[in-house]
Amino acid sequence: MRIKVINPNTTPAMTDLIGYAARAVAGVGTEILAVNPSMGPASIESHYDEALAVPGLLQEITDGENASLSGGVDGYVIACFGDPGLDAARELAAGPVVGIAEAAMHAAVMLGRSFAVVTTLSRTIGRAEDLVAHYGFADRCVSVSACDVAVLDLDDDRSGASLLVEQLARTAIERDRADSIVLGCAGMTSFCERLTDRLGVPVIDGVAAATGMVEALVRMRLRTSTRDEFASPLPKRYDGELASFSLRA
Amino acid sequence: MRIKVINPNTTPAMTDLIGYAARAVAGVGTEILAVNPSMGPASIESHYDEALAVPGLLQEITDGENASLSGGVDGYVIACFGDPGLDAARELAAGPVVGIAEAAMHAAVMLGRSFAVVTTLSRTIGRAEDLVAHYGFADRCVSVSACDVAVLDLDDDRSGASLLVEQLARTAIERDRADSIVLGCAGMTSFCERLTDRLGVPVIDGVAAATGMVEALVRMRLRTSTRDEFASPLPKRYDGELASFSLRA
Amino acid sequence: MRIKVINPNTTPAMTDLIGYAARAVAGVGTEILAVNPSMGPASIESHYDEALAVPGLLQEITDGENASLSGGVDGYVIACFGDPGLDAARELAAGPVVGIAEAAMHAAVMLGRSFAVVTTLSRTIGRAEDLVAHYGFADRCVSVSACDVAVLDLDDDRSGASLLVEQLARTAIERDRADSIVLGCAGMTSFCERLTDRLGVPVIDGVAAATGMVEALVRMRLRTSTRDEFASPLPKRYDGELASFSLRA
Amino acid sequence: MRIKVINPNTTPAMTDLIGYAARAVAGVGTEILAVNPSMGPASIESHYDEALAVPGLLQEITDGENASLSGGVDGYVIACFGDPGLDAARELAAGPVVGIAEAAMHAAVMLGRSFAVVTTLSRTIGRAEDLVAHYGFADRCVSVSACDVAVLDLDDDRSGASLLVEQLARTAIERDRADSIVLGCAGMTSFCERLTDRLGVPVIDGVAAATGMVEALVRMRLRTSTRDEFASPLPKRYDGELASFSLRA
Amino acid sequence: MRIKVINPNTTPAMTDLIGYAARAVAGVGTEILAVNPSMGPASIESHYDEALAVPGLLQEITDGENASLSGGVDGYVIACFGDPGLDAARELAAGPVVGIAEAAMHAAVMLGRSFAVVTTLSRTIGRAEDLVAHYGFADRCVSVSACDVAVLDLDDDRSGASLLVEQLARTAIERDRADSIVLGCAGMTSFCERLTDRLGVPVIDGVAAATGMVEALVRMRLRTSTRDEFASPLPKRYDGELASFSLRA
Amino acid sequence: MRIKVINPNTTPAMTDLIGYAARAVAGVGTEILAVNPSMGPASIESHYDEALAVPGLLQEITDGENASLSGGVDGYVIACFGDPGLDAARELAAGPVVGIAEAAMHAAVMLGRSFAVVTTLSRTIGRAEDLVAHYGFADRCVSVSACDVAVLDLDDDRSGASLLVEQLARTAIERDRADSIVLGCAGMTSFCERLTDRLGVPVIDGVAAATGMVEALVRMRLRTSTRDEFASPLPKRYDGELASFSLRA
């Protein structure tokens, strides 16, 4: 099967890391396409960034659906912890679409009672809390904390992000009684192994989790329901700079 | 004061209706600017449409904020019942921003115990339910029903939309014990007066409600908190077709 | 329009402050009648006080409704943070009735994700929490704290109430991540401007908020639903000291 | 022990029925004082009635507390399904105070998964729903329905109330899967035995349930917490017709 | 009446304590049978222990139901704070069955707004939280804390358990604003009186509370609903070591 | 990897069906061990059955953990829709343990907004609702309905179970707006393919879903948190018929 993993920001270095994490858990015979759109923000750290990452993301979904000649895409991962554009993506794609925030949380609640999210900037805590509540896990998430390192600096050793995340995770485990830690950014995927070793509790990278969930859903031959809400969007004219998003009947 | 009422789709006829409804409730000395973006969908009837209406909407907010030379904008109304882009708009605007769905629901719960939403296409019921839950009114909203008339046909007498909405409202009042009716689309604003007369319960048009709320907030000198989450988005490079959305420091 | 703002305790000095706050936000052409009943407690600081403030409050509503010869009352504000007698008042009044607790919370959630309440005596925290839950804002209210200054001492500089409230507000902002502060007593209305300047987040006075909400509802021609629960109470005999509350058919 | 059962309306015939129901379940050595206030509404069928029943009720509590010379009161039952004045009564009484709505619901959830409430006028359904939610049983209460017979007509055979309640109960059992039926008015206490025989599921009269709960609490030597919220109300001046409610230090 | 109080572990010394606590609150004419099964764990401190305590507990219920010749059992108490096997026991017993966790919580919420649970090992906190949520009291329970003394050491003065529990209770009262303390283990029943004296708030022992609740339910002639879910289990073959649990038609 | 799929009843024919369903979705290199215990009920249709299925289930987990010489077990599926013994099993197993109810629900919410459960006997609806709430999906599950065919008759063509389930599913889709159908019994696994074809929405078999989830978790190297609650149970003496469950230090 072929899974398209979409990094919704425009930074290829991050796309590479994400692709690596997805491939590490993919089963035999699963091909991972890791991509990012050419339009939109370099990183996603505000509601504004997130909203404007969605057009590029949807373009990637549409491209994936049109790729049937070259083998087609069986399912998609949205590799940003805000799960941007998830509902719209589900309208477009025939196969399953899974966001890394939802996947990580689903995995967490099967591994213990409680989890904590450690994320990047404190201004994104609210969005994480919205998702926790929306997915039904408000009783299970004991805290959301932020290391206040920008997304594109996570990787830079000078930011000290890995250590900061470890400290926040320890606090969540000891003070908040978190049974596991959910990494709150696709850019933290490379911290997962080291943190797992050091913390002694499950540390969950959403990229891996979403890849695993999509694989399982595809193998079960399950796809998004087209009953009503998630049926294909209606044909419609789009204007101006977004005219290329018009849908024909 | 000056309130900018943004219809997030690209259909000027609907913008005119919305402007009319806002002006009808505005107080002495309040100027209503009713606009729509030039880019995006002709109407909003799916998650896809809604996501792609947001860039144009945010452009209108940014334009409003840059308009200070000509007097400035004191507050904004987002005139689509999905409240698209509301969080992002709040990051951009200095003054208050209110969505018509939230405003209508806030008004409804001050007029009785329960309300029902009557909306356009059944595929949008889920989005309305999401908003109801997100705003905290899940215990107060007794039903969401859909007349299955497309947004741009509401106005066309041949659609029979007004009568269909009235029938759904009656069912909600009698079967679901709704104390009031919330109109689930900015395009239904012109039904409000007639339905009020015929139904005998409050019928709430979100455009009017949001205009009233923004006016009240401005008069109280209240504006969106800039503590953290809703502070201005960080300066950032945007790429491709969306490069014009880049923010400079 | 004419809005009757009812301070449900019997202390005229507090009524004066409340009237001042309401007039400061009222629009052009809105007349504010600030009153208090002649029967009941001098201040409201327990469930007992609150229960016994209601008869006087309801008398004021009934008087307002009977005032139609002299111009009538278009809407009412209940100016005590416990929102005492709100449901009963809605049964009596033709126009909208808004409590200052509900109004302040409605305003707060349109200005950010979270708010905190700072109130007077710690024994009233429970009532504030009840209201938060009842209005649907349990997920948005991050804390309720008390300065433990009696209501009638708030105004007395020797109580230090203003400073204590400021300290509690700072804690709520920094520790609890409150986006805004809701003042938990009508007697704190005079602190609002100074706190706004010093705290850098929205500080919401319920008297102003409720006045604004009533004005907006009246301008929208919305009134309490009379479908069933909030229809006029049935004619009934009242006995003993409360015989004057009897309702005739 | 001595339990004072207070019917908060002023109708002695109903007080007699309530006293009978309480005595039927009281243990050996428990004395039941069934009383009603001399001031207030003849029956309670609106928020207005309920609010104005509270002063008389509180007077009865205060009288009970002052009765220590003649043996004292160990606990109180508030025998109206709206549980009026319950929080205020708890501030005044040394011993436990239990409302019949809460007691009936507590009993119901120990006898099955779900219960349904059958009450008098449909305009009181909202109050019952408020109590269900406030007590934490929203997930357990499958329906609240109303026979639309006035409280003081329940007893009159011509009203057909008993049969109407039975029909509503059957619907709740069959359609809503109610495991038990909670009688939603103290005036239905005399229906309990017959309905139990006919329906085949537990039928719960709150007067009996509250009497049993108070007895159990007294025997456990438990009384309302005086930590903070439910400590005695502060000394305070009351004005006007309610001056007799003043509390001295 | 006769109430069978079942300690679901196999330690007779604990059964004796439990019987003593039940008898202390039972009314005149109520006989308490305090028993424990012969099979299962010596104490219950994990999900594993709790699951394996249930067969012995159910055997005791079945024996109670078969005891009709010698007078019969009118109701049952399950005297372990995890309320193990409660739903299954309700299927078997004709009379009411009450768990000590549910009973203690029901009592607590009639004595104040909030309660805190103090329990034994921290690994059982999760189970207590599950019960709190399941019974509908998540908004009322302000904390669950653990003294980390093993169940069978509670009684041993050298464990210092009584003092540790007192300290945790003080923290819950002062920091978490708990109006009352719920003892989170049947083995703490002997601490109740001393803690009540020292803490100044209600301290609730579930054994006493459940005994009182069963007595009240029996006196009201209420028994578990047999409508559907809690009807007698269907006749069925059981295999292997559990063959004796087979049910015949 | 090796996944042990445990049917917790003692009916081998059902174990065979379950094994078949698990193997159908397992990836390359995954071995499925499908087993059932030798002790316990022939089928699970009551709380009593479920409680007594747990000892045999836990024995199978312990055996799996002791099997390390012969290659070991990497993860477990509990193949009964009540998810019996799940928490206890997680204490015993080193690798992940997933119940078929939780897995099916997790899958369902990634495929649409809403799902409905169709189960066997109506007396089990309550348990399904408990699980829905416990897992956080109360807002997503629109109905639970029962075909009232016994578990061991599902397979018998004369029961008509397949058709009854299809009818209930259609009602859930049309009346309750279910986006997908969750099969509420491991014995319905063979209906999945046919129902998928006929209904046009996703139909989710928990056995397949749980197998996929365990596989994904194992591939991510995630296992149950051993922080506190789910650490190995403490060494302890077990008495009587259950003495073999004793745990040594």
Per-residue pLDDT averaged across B148-155, rounded? 93
Q: Which residues pair with F3 in a beta bridge?
A: F32, F75
Instruction: Give pLDDT tens digits for D25-34.
Output: 999 999 999 9
Chains A and F physically touch (3 or more Cβ atom pairs below 8 Å): yes
d(C-alpha A241, C-alpha B220), whole Å: 38
Q: Searching chain F, which residue's CA lies closest to the CA of residue A210?
A: F216
What's the CA angle centered on C170, arms C168 and C173, to 5 degrees?
A: 110
Check whether A227 has a pLDDT greater than 90.
yes
> Do E94 and E223 touch, CB atoms closer than 8 A?
yes
For domain A101-206, give the fold: Rossmann fold (3.40.50)
- Separation CA C118–CA F28 (nearest Å): 60
Mean pLDDT score of chain A: 96
| Digit-coded pLDDT (tens) for F110-150 | 999 999 999 999 999 999 999 999 999 999 999 999 999 99
Tell me the chain E residues in contact with residue F241 when contact means C-beta distances shorter than 8 Å.
39, 55, 241
Task: Please state whether at least 3 CB pairs lie below 8 Å between chains D and A.
Answer: no
* Stretch (H or E) spanning C118: strand C115-119
Across the range A130-145, mean pLDDT stands at 98
- Could you tell me the pLDDT band of residue B98, with boundaries at 50, 70 and 90? very high
Cβ–Cβ below 8 Å for D239 and C40: yes
Which residues have a Cβ under 8 Å from the Cβ of C69 and sit 6 or more positions away?
none
Question: Looking at residue B130, what DSSP letter applies?
Answer: H
In total, chain A counts a number of residues equal to 249
Substitution target from C52, C60, C127, C232 for chain D, most D beta carbons within 10 A: C52
The residue ranges of every structural domain in chain D are 2-99+208-245, 101-205
CB B28 within 8 A of CB B60: no
Mean pLDDT, range B178-196, rounded to an integer: 96
**Lookup result for tokens 């919580």:** E105
Amino acid at residue number E208: A
How many angstroms separate the CA of residue E119 from the nearest CA in chain D?
20
The pLDDT of residue C242 is above 80: yes
Is the confidence at residue C70, as pLDDT, over 80? Answer: no
Nearest CB partner across the interface for A133, out of C114, C139, C177: C139
Q: What is the mean pLDDT of residues B34-53?
A: 98
pTM score, whole prediction = 0.97
Query: For D17-28, what is the mean pLDDT?
Result: 96
Which CATH number is associated with domain C2-99+208-245? 3.40.50.12500
Tell me, rounded to whole angstroms, the distance of Cα A110 from its chain centroid.
Answer: 18
Q: Which residue of E has its CA nearest to F89?
A: E48
Contact check, Cβ <8 Å, A126/C139: no
What pLDDT is stored for residue B174 in this prediction? 97
pLDDT at A68 (0 to 100): 65
Within 8 A by CB and 6+ apart from C165, the residues are C118, C147, C183, C188, C191, C195
Looking at residue C215, what is its pLDDT?
97
Q: Give A65's contacts (C-beta < 8 A, 6+ positions apart).
A: A73, A92, A93, A94
Q: Among A108-117, A124-133, C240-249, F83-92, which stretch is predicted with the lowest mean pLDDT?
A: C240-249
Question: DSSP code of E120?
Answer: S
- Cβ neighbors of B157 (< 8 A, separation 6 or more) are none
Quote the percentage of chain C above a pLDDT of 90: 95
Chains E and A touch (3+ CB pairs under 8 A): yes
Residue A188 scores a pLDDT above 60: yes
pLDDT at C194: 95
In terms of CA atoms, which chain B residue is nearest residue D144?
Answer: B177
User: Are F54 and E50 within 8 A, CB to CB?
Assistant: no
Residues paired with D130 in a beta bridge: none
Alpha helices in chain D (DSSP H): 12-25, 47-66, 86-92, 100-109, 125-135, 161-174, 192-199, 206-219
Establish whether chain A is in contact with chain B, requiring a minimum of 3 CB pairs below 8 angstroms: yes
pLDDT score of E68: 65
Does A177 contact E138 at a Cβ distance shorter than 8 Å?
Answer: no
A74 to chain F: which residues are within 8 Å by CB? none
Mean pLDDT of B191-204: 96
Q: Under a CB-based contact definition with an 8 Å cutoff, are residues D76 and D98 in contact?
A: yes
Mean pLDDT confidence for D112-139: 98
Mean pLDDT in residue range E55-83: 91
- Return the number of other C-beta atoms located less than 10 Å from residue F194's C-beta: 13
> Which of A42, A51, A239 faces B54 most closely, judged by CB atoms?
A51
Helix (H, G, I), strand (E, B) or coil at D197: helix
pLDDT, mean over chain D: 96
Share of chain E above pLDDT 90, in %: 95
When pLDDT is cut at 50, 70 and 90, the band that residue A131 belongs to is: very high
Sequence-distant contacts of B189-192: CB under 8 A, at least 24 apart: B189/B17, B189/B18, B189/B20, B189/B21, B190/B17, B190/B21, B190/B155, B191/B154, B191/B161, B191/B162, B191/B165, B192/B21
Q: What does the pLDDT read at residue E249?
A: 80
Question: Closest Cα of chain E to C126: distance in Å?
Answer: 7
Q: At what angle do helices F206-219 and F12-25 cross, to 10 degrees?
A: 50
Determine the average pLDDT of the residues in A43-53. 98
Domains B2-99+208-245 and B101-205 share a fold: yes
Judge whether F122 and E228 are in contact, CB under 8 Å. Answer: yes
Are the Cβ atoms of C215 and B216 closer than 8 angstroms? yes
Give F-chain residues touching B46 at CB under 8 angstroms.
Answer: none
- Indicate the range of B17-21, B103-107, C65-69, E117-121 predicted with least confidence: C65-69
Structure confidence at residue F102 as a pLDDT band (50, 70, 90): very high
Contact B123 A231 (CB under 8 A): yes
The backbone torsions φ and ψ at residue A42, rounded to the nearest 5 degrees and listed phi first, read -70, -25
Confidence of residue D157 (pLDDT cuts 50, 70, 90): confident
Q: How far apart are CA D142 and CA D140, in angstroms?
A: 6
CATH architecture entry for B101-205: 3-Layer(aba) Sandwich (3.40)
Are C202 and B208 within 8 A, CB to CB? no
Q: Which of E208, D51, B76 is nearest to C87 (CA)?
A: D51
Instruction: State the pLDDT at residue D35.
Output: 98
Contacts of D129 in chain B (CB under 8 A): 113
CB contact under 8 A, D139 and F133: yes
